[in-house]
Structure 1
Amino acid sequence: MTAALATLSAGLFAPALGEAFALRGPDGRTLAVTLARCVEHPRSTMPGSARTAFDLVLTCPADAAEGFPDGDCVLSHDALGEFGPLYAGRILPVGFPPGSAAYQVIFI
């Protein structure tokens, strides 16, 4: 399944918390990640938007993420399919175990 980004919602991803996903970067490199957080942000939602703004936080071991760039990528999941291109940026892994890397994808 490949869905238009404008149709995605937190409700699609929330049941997959803790499950394996993959980020495929512009260079073709794939990074195995786990969906660690899926949070809606009603106060950040654009007026008239058809969906509530939300973000995803994806984690992996920091050594696996070494050299994986921020930027446009494709997010994929075995059951949900592929989504993208979308922008994934590396963030500080606050609240995750030492040695973790975290990437955030924001949908507004």
Structure 2
Amino acid sequence: MGSSPIIGFMAEPHKIQTDTPREVLEIQYDLYRKMSPTKKIELVFDAYRTGQLLAMAGIRMRHPNASEKEVKQIWAKEHLGEELYCKVYRNKGYDGDPGVK
């Protein structure tokens, strides 16, 4: 596989290095251009949620005895970083540590 797409990827699809044929990329980019902003946002949120679910599955594999609450706390700590996690979750009654090692 080649490098990741550039920001503004629809501007110059011919410059992206990928294993996808150029003709397919052009069709895909044309579909993106025609999509409503709402649909584009839905796709972004779907991709984000998929990444979150995959990350949480990895956490469950690393911490098989963790409760769902602990899995969510670990994900939040990994996602937000230590400092922001502590600021956010201490205000919600957590001590800042998911408690799973």
More helix by percentage? 2
Same fold (TM > 0.5): no
Could you say which structure has the larger radius of gyration? 2
Q: What band does the TM-score fall into relative to the shorter chain? A: under 0.3
- TM-score, normalization by structure 1: 0.20
